[in-house]
Amino acid sequence: MIADLTTRRLVICCGTGGVGKTTISAALALRLAQSGARTVVVTIDPARRLASALGMTGLSDEPRRVPADAVLGEGAGELWALQLDAKATFDRLVSRYAADEAARTRILENRIYRHLSGAVAGAQEYMAVERLHELVEDGDFECIVLDTPPATNALDFLDAPQRITRFIEGRALRLLLRPGAVAGGLGWKILHAGSGTVLGLLERLTGAQLLRDVSDFLAGFDGMYQGFADRATAVRTLLLSEQSAFLVIAAAEPDSLGQAVALSRRLTSDGFPLSGVVLNRVHALPGEPPAEQELADALAAAGAEDPGALARDAIAAIADERVLGLRDLDARAELHAAIRDGALIEVPSLAHEPVELPGIAEVAAALGP
């Protein structure tokens, strides 16, 4: 399955919380780089774990070269990594596309913009769309691997291009942009006469000032809207095309499995090209525990102080591993039943947490052919 991914422009890893999206994204990017492609792994999760997984001290909105020579091998491509910074992306966008200096200043100094571009939830997904578009357009990388936030927010990201276009093409924007439509102008009184207008109602909720600020903010982008809509459409087209591949990551925990299957179905029914499912952290199944007496005898011969108690605890330890091993066998069977042949990759639970490059390389090797 991995070999098939080398032909894609964009590989997107999604899944519920803590299943290994970031780890698998990093490992997959390493594999693609090993096979010769100049690759960048991008995280759009505001939590910054990609840097930790790669053992780097920090990542930024510009791609950084991952010092991976030791694990890349002969004839490999380069490996780069990037952490989305919504504010930096938005600022760049404004500088690049604003009609003139006045328009640029008007936006950058708007109070709504200053909050929105940095902190406000939701802006992240929009800027992820823009950043992805930039990366594709710049053409610096043959492969882009995308690490997403936990499932519900990942779906928000996948919906974002459509939300942007709908908003830009919809009536809400035109209403808010109509000169004088918002408090103060003559138009306002006329609108208010029918006191049932959407805008009139909105103002009752937000207060005149906030609505004026919003309107002003949106007006600042005048002339840039078509660009937003065009880029959003381009990203959506890419996400739906065969140039992209989606991987759903699952852990063997029972709740996670059900959610992974549901997510896979959702992606498929929405038309996204799903390549397969990665079942991560599969626990090995050890054999049956030994007879307590036999183990205690061996431990006594090795000088244990209380061989009986130690034998009991050791048997408890292996019994725990068996519970998880058996659970994961069932998980694997359940997934096999739900997913078509050849679309399932299993990654074992590694004895040492795969952080930093050697660990990521171990996961990369475990991804199979």
Site for ligand ADP in 225-254 (CB under 6 A): 253
Site residues (CB under 6 A) for ligand ADP, limited to 2-31: 17-18
Q: Read off φ and ψ for residue 149, nearest 5 degrees.
A: -70, 170
Q: How far is the C-alpha of 24 from the C-alpha of 29, rounded, in Å?
A: 8
- Cα separations in angstroms, 41 against 60, 139, 213, 223, 364: 12, 14, 37, 33, 14
Closest residue by Cα to residue 41 from 25, 55, 19: 25
**Residue 291: strand, helix, or coil:** coil
Q: Read off φ and ψ for residue 346, nearest 5 degrees.
A: -110, 135
Evaluate whether 93 touches 227 at the Cβ level (below 8 Å): no
Evaluate whether 364 touches 5 at the Cβ level (below 8 Å): no
Nearer to another protein, 48 or 265 (CB): 48
CA atoms within 13 A on the CB side of 216: 18
Q: Which residue is nearest to Mg ion (CB)?
A: 22
Task: Verify binding: residue 308, another protein, rule CB under 8 A.
Answer: no
The least distance separating another protein from the CB of residue 276, rounded to whole angstroms, comes to 21
295-300 long-range Cβ contacts below 8 angstroms, 24+ apart: none
Task: Verify binding: residue 216, ligand ADP, rule CB under 6 A.
Answer: no
The least distance separating ligand ATP from the CB of residue 271, rounded to whole angstroms, comes to 24
Q: Which does 198 bind (CB under 5 to 8 A by kind): Mg ion, ligand ATP, another protein, none?
A: another protein
Q: How far is the C-alpha of 184 from the C-alpha of 212, rounded, in Å?
A: 9
Candidate residues 9, 38, 49, 322; the one interacting with ligand ATP per rule CB under 6 A: 49
Radius of gyration of the chain (CA): 26
Q: How far is the C-alpha of 192 from the C-alpha of 247, rounded, in Å?
A: 51
| Residues contributing to the site for Mg ion (CB under 5 A) | 21-22, 49
Query: At 47, which amino acid appears?
Result: A
Candidate residues 3, 198, 333, 350; the one interacting with ligand ATP per rule CB under 6 A: 350
Q: Which does 255 bind (CB under 5 to 8 A by kind): ligand ADP, ligand ATP, Mg ion, none?
A: ligand ADP
Candidate residues 37, 181, 311, 347; the one interacting with ligand ATP per rule CB under 6 A: 347
Helices 111-118 and 101-109, axial angle in degrees (round to 10): 70
Nearer to ligand ADP, 17 or 223 (CB): 17
Strands 64-65 and 39-43: unpaired
The least distance separating ligand ATP from the CB of residue 76, rounded to whole angstroms, comes to 22
Q: Which does 111 bind (CB under 5 to 8 A by kind): Mg ion, another protein, ligand ATP, none?
A: another protein
Site residues (CB under 8 A) for another protein, limited to 136-195: 149-150, 152-153, 163-164, 166-167, 170-173, 175-176
Site residues (CB under 8 A) for another protein, limited to 327-346: 327
Nearer to ligand ATP, 55 or 150 (CB): 150
Task: Verify binding: residue 105, another protein, rule CB under 8 A.
Answer: no
Give the binding site for ligand ADP (CB under 6 A).
17-18, 253, 255
Q: Which residues bind ligand ATP (CB under 6 A)?
A: 15, 17-23, 45, 49, 150, 280-281, 347, 349-350, 353-355, 363
